[in-house]
Amino acid sequence: MSTLGFSTRQLHAGDEHDGPHRPRATPIHLTAGFVFDDFDQAHSRFAGTDDGFSYTRVGNPTNAAAERRIADLESGTGALLVSTGQAAVATTILALVNTGDHVLSSSSIYEGTRELLRDDLARLGVAVDFVSDPNDSAAWAAGIRPNTRLVFAESIPNPKNDVLDIAALAGIAHRNGVPLVVDNTLATPYLLRPIEHGADIVIHSASKFLAGHGTVLGGVIVDAGSFPWVAHAAAYPQLAETRGPDGRTVVERSPHTAFLEFARRVAMRYGPAPSPLNAFLILQGIETLSLRVQRQSDSALHLAQWLERHPHVESVDYSGLASSPHHALAERYLPRGYGGVLAVTVRGGTAGARAFTNALRVFTRMTHLGDVRSLVLHPATTTHVLRDADELAAGGIGPGLLRLSIGLEDLPDLIADLDQALTAAAQASEPVPAQVPERALAAV
């Protein structure tokens, strides 16, 4: 399908019209498992000599249709659909590391992923280092160790909207024999396809722009099929030594997609399978991805420019603004638009942010992104509540910073809503200290 345009492929890529009824829409195969015709077919499904379906935890036709479509849109060779974005991150990392290994990550990433890397991998004996400026090539190169098994970054991290130089980081990772994993949730394949710039594995929280309507959670892992697993087999013994029922190892069976095969056949044991109903809703969301993301990006740029001029606004973080330190990279990597998420810092610190948030009527107060509805969140007291003051400052997350995810509402309505909320923020009197619990469970 690669010769067709993006909007055509988001409707047709991976379509199959099998079966006697040939439904036009992808059927929802809501079933735990699939009937084996006979004794021998059951064996061949488990032995992998017949590629039919057996049990929905490891494969389902509806999930497979979503996998084919997303792999096509991301220019990958295959994909694995899982239950959430966090499941995609965890499954990818757990498929690539062993105790004693090392992961090098940007620190400018989704806070839930940062906590997983920092706390949970340490518990499993996997060391993690963070690079604080994702575009500091020297820091990346210096941070890679002989036991580094993956380099992790996000194409457009929120809330600061820094843009990753994917080609530069891929070059550093590959010179050191390490795959580059990129979380492309905020950009979506409509705006940016990291594989075309050298990434080896692309991850999404499909709960966000891909599904698009705030109804389901989902995650996806896309394999570029380009990392030379055979050449680096000693570093990934799970791929080089794990044998299938036919006696061959994962790299022998699938030299180019060994990671994805291992993730599907082994890491799915951890149980992150999605419901076929959710896969259907993600597929349906993808059918309008380009239209939604173009409109959200256009509206976000307009609002960022309007907010930047507003007297009650201290600053705006959006790579589409000429004033952004990431604008040059954004122009290179994001020619269609700069994404639907921006950050605005209102005057008045936490008190201003509180009054602003509470005054909004069209924006929904919610921890989510990429919805058709516009959303607002105060990261310092929610997603980043586990960070101490120094860490918040290092991440550029001030007390007056709010994350806005722009939806599909009419622009004049969004502007009017923001305007009256900024007036409320300016009128907020005495600053009230934020009620931050000593220890919360995790970012959501």
Rounded Cα distance between 106 and 228, Å, is: 23
Binding residue for ligand PLP (CB under 6 A) from 161, 205, 254, 299?
Answer: 205
User: What's the one-letter identity of residue 309?
Assistant: R
Q: Least distance in Å: CB of 154 to ligand PLP? A: 6
User: Does residue 431 have a cis peptide bond before it, meaning omega lies within 30 degrees of 0?
Assistant: no
Q: Is 378 exposed, middle or buried (0-12, 13-18, 19+ CB in 10 A)?
A: buried
Stretch that binds ligand PLP, among 181-189, 294-302, 321-329, 358-366 (CB under 6 A): 181-189
Specify whether the CB–CB gap between 164 and 334 falls below 8 A.
no
> Hey, CA dihedral for 366, 284, 410, 316, is it positive or negative?
positive
- The minimum distance between CB 22 and ligand PLP, in angstroms, equals 33
CB of 294 to ligand PLP, least distance (A): 20
Least distance (Å) from ligand PLP to the CB of residue 351? 26
Cβ atoms within 10 Å, residue 394: 12
Nearer to ligand PLP, 30 or 444 (CB): 444
Of positions 154, 223, 261, 371, contacts ligand PLP by CB under 6 A: 154
Nearer to ligand PLP, 71 or 369 (CB): 369
Residue 365 token pair: 């107060």
Closer residue to ligand PLP in complex, CB, 221/329: 221
Question: Rounded CA gap, 221 and 223, in Å?
Answer: 7
Which x/- pattern over 73-92 shows residues binding ligand PLP (rule: CB under 6 A)? -----------xxx------
- Which residues, in sequence order, are bridge partners of residue 342? 404
Q: Smallest distance, Å, CB 203 to ligand PLP?
A: 7
Closest CA to 63 of 28, 24, 108: 28
Nearest partner of 375 among 360, 392, 359, judged by Cα: 360
- Of 110 and 236, which CB lies nearer to ligand PLP in the complex structure? 110
Q: How far is the CB of 444 from ligand PLP (least distance, A)?
A: 7
Beta bridge partners of 223: 78, 201
Enter the tokens of residue 194.
């990291």
- Residue 411: which of 330, 325, 296 has the closest Cα? 296
The stretch near ligand PLP (CB under 6 A) out of 105-113, 275-283, 310-318, 425-433 is 105-113
Gap between the Cα atoms of 131 and 133, Å rounded? 6
By CB under 6 A, the count of residues binding ligand PLP is: 15
3-state secondary structure of 180: strand
- Footprint of ligand PLP on 207-266 (CB under 6 A): 207, 217, 219
Q: Which residue is nearest to ligand PLP (CB)?
A: 85
Piece of 140-148, 180-188, 260-268, 279-287 that binds ligand PLP (CB under 6 A): 180-188
CB of 112 to ligand PLP, least distance (A): 6
Minimum CB–partner distance for residue 211 and ligand PLP (Å): 9
Residue 106 lies near ligand PLP (rule: CB under 6 A): no
Quote the least distance from Cβ 26 to ligand PLP, whole Å: 21
Please list every residue from 422 through 441 that binds ligand PLP, using CB under 6 A: none
Burial 208-241 (b: 16+ CB within 10 A, else e): bbbbbebebbbbbbbbbbbbebeebbebbebbbe
Interaction of residue 406 with ligand PLP, rule CB under 6 A: no
What is the smallest separation between the CB atom of 368 and ligand PLP, expressed in angstroms?
A: 7
A 10 A CB-CB count for 33 gives 12
**Where is 64: in which H helix or E strand?**
helix 61-73
State whether the Cα torsion 198-201-206-211 is positive or negative: positive
CA–CA distance, 161 with 144 (Å, rounded to integer): 25
Judged by beta carbon, residue 238 or residue 383, the one nearer ligand PLP is 383
Q: Is 185 in the site for ligand PLP (CB under 6 A)?
A: yes
The residue (of 117 and 428) whose beta carbon lies closer to ligand PLP is 117
Site string for ligand PLP, 358-387 (x = CB under 6 A): -----------x------------------
Of 116 and 239, the one with the shorter C-beta distance to ligand PLP is: 116
Give the binding site for ligand PLP (CB under 6 A).
Answer: 84-86, 110, 112-113, 154, 183, 185-186, 205, 207, 217, 219, 369
